[in-house]
């Protein structure tokens, strides 16, 4: 299984600043478009981020605020080495957007810098309060829609029934798919996911999106 090369020393999170209104609107619009058409690649600019801060910070900077507690998931590989990076990341984002940093189980938005064994900690909400389900921002290495050797087939609302989306996502494997399947198995409860590559490309997986492993 491939894991993202997470920096052993936390990047310059102390230089992180609030997004400008224009950039925040661009990121928000890209995310909304991505959820409207799951599996469709959107792209946002990463120019406003300090060097070394991954693009996965952008959705949290655009979406989280004082009313939305945020948390983080540790990497499935070398979790103790990655802890400093993910701790620095979520603390810096919380400082910038004035959000409270909480355990992953209580987070409205959660950040994962690599594939995590802790996905099952996230809250799917409940039937009469599905809005309490967590939105996961998952950093990935690269997104390849229409790849020559796709690993996933996406179906569900927002995807034409006659044209399922086939893609490969570098940095995520069966562990992610299996854990997510459990979290979205009791609709309308479930989690929503934003997969974000460092080049600014992103796709969204609504809780209604089904992933078939090819």
Give the tens place of pLDDT for each residue, 16-32.
999 999 999 999 999 99
Q: Which percentage of the chain shows pLDDT scores above 70?
A: 91
pLDDT of res. 141:
96
Predicted local distance difference test score (pLDDT) of residue 38: 96
Residue 69 has pLDDT above 50, yes or no: yes
What does the block give as tokens for 155?
């179906």
Is 121 in contact with 114 (CB distance < 8 Å)? no
Query: In whole angstroms, what is the distance from residue 199 CA to residue 78 CA?
Result: 24
**By mean pLDDT, which of 8-17, 120-129, 139-148 is the weakest?**
8-17
Report which of 130, 132, 152 is spatially closest to residue 209, judged by C-alpha positions. Answer: 152
- Residue carrying structure tokens 């590559």: 197
Q: What is the pLDDT at residue 13? A: 85
To 5 degrees, how large is the angle CA 201–CA 202–CA 207? 170
Q: Comparing C-alpha atoms, which of 153, 162, 128, 144 is closest to residue 203?
A: 144
**In sequence order, what E strands does 141-206 have?**
142-145, 152-155, 165-170, 192-197, 201-205
pLDDT in tens, 153-197: 999 999 999 999 999 999 999 999 999 999 999 999 999 999 999
- List, for residues 29-65, the tens digit of each pLDDT value: 999 999 999 999 999 999 989 998 999 999 999 999 9
Token reading at 123? 């809250």
Q: Report the C-alpha gap between 94 and 104 in whole angstroms.
A: 14
Number of C-beta neighbours around residue 106 at 10 A:
15
What is the model's pLDDT at position 78? Answer: 54
Residue 141 tokens, joined: 């290495």
Does pLDDT of 87 surpass 90? no
- Is there a contact between 54 and 112 (Cβ–Cβ < 8 Å)? no
**pTM of the predicted structure, to 2 decimals:** 0.92
């Amino acid at each position: 299984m491939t894991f993202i090369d997470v920096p052993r020393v936390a990047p310059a999170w102390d230089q992180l600043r609030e997004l400008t209104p224009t950039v925040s609107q661009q990121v928000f619009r890209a995310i909304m478009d991505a959820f409207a058409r799951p599996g469709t690649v959107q792209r946002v600019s990463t120019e406003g981020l300090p060097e070394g801060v991954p693009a996965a910070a952008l959705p949290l900077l655009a979406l989280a605020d004082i009313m939305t507690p945020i948390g983080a998931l540790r990497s499935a590989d070398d979790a103790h080495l990655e802890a400093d990076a993910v701790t620095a990341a979520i603390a810096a984002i919380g400082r910038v957007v004035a959000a409270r940093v909480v355990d992953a189980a209580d987070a409205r938005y959660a950040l994962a810098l690599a594939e995590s064994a802790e996905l099952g900690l996230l809250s799917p909400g409940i039937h009469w309060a599905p809005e309490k389900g967590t939105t996961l921002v998952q950093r990935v290495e690269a997104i390849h829609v229409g790849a020559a050797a796709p690993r996933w087939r996406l179906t569900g609302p927002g995807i034409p029934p006659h044209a399922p989306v086939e893609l490969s996502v570098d940095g995520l494997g069966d562990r992610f798919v299996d854990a997510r399947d459990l979290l979205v198995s009791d609709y309308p409860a479930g989690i929503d996911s934003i997969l974000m590559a460092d080049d600014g490309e992103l796709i969204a997986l609504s809780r209604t999106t089904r992933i078939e492993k090819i």
